[in-house]
Structure 1
Amino acid sequence: MHGEYKVPGGKLVVVDLDVEGGALRDVRVAGDFFLEPDEAILAIDTALEGAPANTGTADLTARIDAALPASTVMFGLTSEGIAVAVRRALAHATEWSDYDWQLIHEQPQSPALHMALDEVITAEVAAGRRPPTLRVWEWDSPAVIIGSFQSLRNEVDAEAAARHGVSVVRRVSGGGAMFVEPGNTITYSLSVPDALVSGLSFADSYAYLDDWVLEALGDMGIKAWYQPLNDIATEVGKIAGAAQKRVVGHDGGPGAVLHHVTMSYDIDADKMLDVLRIGREKMSDKGTKSAKKRVDPLRRQTGLPRGVVINNMIESFRTRHGLTTGTVSQDEQERAEELVRTKFGTAEWTARVP
């Protein structure tokens, strides 16, 4: 069995192993990390040898920590990262390179249609009718997108939204509200087979699926990191928020994961604060006195036009994982438009949590 795991902000950990009699055998840990002293790698392999195959990540981590020499120094590597790679091997997890990735980047769409396209495309990936897909969104109008379980009236000032011509839609994933305007945000979705995140905890899957964009930002001179549970941040503030939805496969078969991210390119903070009801309680755990300081635009950090930032991100993904250009099929488009009529464009869905 073979498992790989890119430690967030670190290096790649690779684990090869066999299972005999319900226990790990012939465990071999490798990767492009740095580890001192040399004998530490043998101590890690020995610690994992013979462990029950159903051992959880925490207990595997403890076994490794207990076996390491006192002088051990790890760089780009953690005991937990090794344990995760072991669990991914046992779960027969796939890797980014196992797939032929497809890009969808088309004309601006309505907010409700974007919600519908996410659902349709991810369902197609789960059914095996579409390859794993990176979809970059273009917006045709300003909107607030609230999380699946948020209260509409608690999150949005309806009068202010109407005054600014901002529509409100509800997405299928959880998390908080997003304020978007054409040209001022960068939004993308990853629709991936659940095998890609197999063996990862829910929190680890966020970091794993965000890692490519952290590297893309690094290529543009921005040192960014994953901030649990679902933020991407830099030294000067948050620049993005992510959300996920798990899709169950047909008849219990393989499923898929929808992971979508909205990044602030040049946010109008005053308008955002007029439309969103951001309470003191929500802000109190962010360590800042002003909501305006919570989100720091990419335009100021990169100095690059929005289109250039998007193209750089796409090319970064293409270089690392491969990417061919595709389109939304006619069938997918028609199904998405039907979902707008019956779900995402309806008051019943938008206000399902009043």
Structure 2
Amino acid sequence: MHGEYKVPGGKLVVVDFDVQEGKIVDFRLAGDFFLEPDSALEAINSAVEGIAAETDASGIAAAVREALPSDAQLLGITPEAVGTAVRRALVTAPGWHDFEWEIVHDDAVSPRMNLALDEVLTSRVGQGLRRPTLRIWEWHESAVVIGSFQSYRNEVDPEGALRHGFDVVRRISGGGAMLMAADQIITYSLYVPASLVQGMTFADSYAFLDDWVLQALRSVGVDATYQPLNDIASPAGKIGGAAQKRLANGGVLHHATLSYDIDGQMMTEVLRIGREKLSDKGTTSAAKRVDPLRTQTGLSRSEIIERFKATFRGLTGAQDAHITDDEYAEAEALVQSKFATDAWLHRVP
């Protein structure tokens, strides 16, 4: 069996092994990582040799960590990465190049339509009716997008939202509220089959699916990093956050919103961001948590988006495409039956 896993921000980890009588045998680790001393490689191989094939990624990582010499230095590789590579080999998980990808960057639609398209396109990928897709959102209306499980009254100041011209909508994924001012954010959605993230923990899948955008940000001079569970940041501050939704039919939605420009004071007047929310962030001000891409790069929003698309094409070979008329029609029907209803918006009061 053969498995590969690219460590987000790190190196490629490759494992080869056989399974005999339910155990991993003839285990061999390789990759372009750095490992000192040389004996650490054999220590890792020995740690995985003989482990039960049903051992999860965290169990494999624990065995590797225990076996490493006390002076071992791992650069571009972690024990968890070894565990993930093993699990992906056992489920024969595909990689980015095993799919035919599309990039969609169509004209602006309403916030509710964007949310409905997320559900429709994720479902179609899960059904095999659409190729895996990266979609760049466009809209010219400002909105607060709250997470699927958030309380409306706890997250949004209705008077502040009305005063600043923000609609309030609810998405299908979890996570926190996003202040999405018109033309001041960059939002993308990935619609992928569940097989792409097989063998990964839920947390690992976030890092894996956002690694391409970290590469794109670094190419425009932003020292971007992934901060578990779902933040994209730089030394200057938080840039954005991601969220996921997995459908029963095998479709996975992974979307992220990055701040291109932001009015920090306005954010505090529209969102109810309490002290508990900030308690583990090392700051007392929500406005100081976010550092937008405009100030970090000096580039226009469109220039950054084009770099995103070019980076993704280089990784996947994706071709430009469009949302079809019937996909738009299905999404519009979903707006009327779900996303525009008070029942959905206030599903958690």
> TM exceeds 0.5?
yes
Q: 1:89 & 1:247 partners in 2: Cα distance?
A: 24
Say which SS state the counterpart of residue 42 (structure 1) adopts: helix
Contact 2:102 2:134 in 1 (8 A): yes
Determine the structure 1 residue equivalent to 2:290: 295
Q: For residues 262-341 of structure 1, what are the structure 2 equivalents within 5 Å? A: 262-341=257-336
Cα distance change, pair 165–71 in 1 and its aligned pair in 2 (3 A): closer
Which amino acid is 1:328 matched to?
I
Which amino acid is 2:183 matched to?
G
Which amino acid is 2:339 matched to?
F
Residue 159 (structure 1) aligned with residue 159 (structure 2): yes
Q: 1:292 & 1:74 partners in 2: Cα distance?
A: 36
Q: 2:198 & 2:69 partners in 1: Cα distance?
A: 31
Q: 2:97 & 2:242 partners in 1: Cα distance?
A: 23
Determine the structure 1 residue equivalent to 2:337: 342
How far residue 273 of structure 1 moved from its aligned partner, in angstroms, is 1.6
Say which SS state the counterpart of residue 139 (structure 2) adopts: coil
Residue 234 (structure 1) aligned with residue 251 (structure 2): no
Contact 2:275 2:284 in 1 (8 A): no
Determine the structure 2 residue equivalent to 1:252: none
Q: For residues 1-354 of structure 1, what are the structure 2 equivalents within 5 Å? A: 1-249=1-249, 255-354=250-349
Say which SS state the counterpart of residue 176 (structure 2) adopts: coil
How far residue 70 of structure 1 moved from its aligned partner, in angstroms, is 4.0
Q: 1:35 & 1:227 partners in 2: Cα distance?
A: 24
Which ranges of 4 or more aligned residues in structure 1 deviate by more than 4 Å?
none
Aligned alpha-carbon RMSD (Å):
1.3
Contact 2:140 2:183 in 1 (8 A): no
Contact 2:93 2:195 in 1 (8 A): yes
How far residue 78 of structure 1 moved from its aligned partner, in angstroms, is 1.3
Contact 1:101 1:133 in 2 (8 A): yes
What TM-score do the two structures reach when normalised by structure 1? 0.96
> CA offsets, 1:293-347, max 9 Å, x none?
0111100001100000000111011112211011111111110000000000111
How far residue 27 of structure 1 moved from its aligned partner, in angstroms, is 1.7
Instruction: Judge which range, 156-165 or 135-144, deviates more.
Output: 156-165
What TM-score do the two structures reach when normalised by structure 2? 0.97
Which amino acid is 2:144 matched to?
V
Q: 1:63 & 1:165 partners in 2: Cα distance?
A: 54
Which amino acid is 2:275 matched to?
R
**Structure 1 unaligned residues grouped into runs of 5+:** 250-254
Say which SS state the counterpart of residue 229 (structure 1) adopts: coil
Q: 2:60 & 2:278 partners in 1: Cα distance?
A: 37
How far residue 58 of structure 1 moved from its aligned partner, in angstroms, is 2.5
Which amino acid is 1:262 matched to?
T
How far residue 163 of structure 1 moved from its aligned partner, in angstroms, is 2.1
How far residue 157 of structure 1 moved from its aligned partner, in angstroms, is 1.2
Contact 1:17 1:28 in 2 (8 A): yes
> CA offsets, 1:267-313, max 9 Å, x none?
12222221111112212221102111011110000110000000011
Q: 1:156 & 1:40 partners in 2: Cα distance?
A: 52
Cα distance change, pair 165–69 in 1 and its aligned pair in 2 (3 A): closer
Contact 1:136 1:188 in 2 (8 A): yes
Which amino acid is 2:76 matched to?
G
> CA offsets, 1:66-96, max 9 Å, x none?
3334443221111221111111111221111
Q: 1:61 & 1:274 partners in 2: Cα distance?
A: 45
Which amino acid is 1:233 matched to?
A
Instruction: Judge which range, 24-33 or 119-128, deviates more.
Output: 24-33
Contact 1:102 1:325 in 2 (8 A): yes
Q: 1:71 & 1:124 partners in 2: Cα distance?
A: 50
Which amino acid is 2:267 matched to?
M
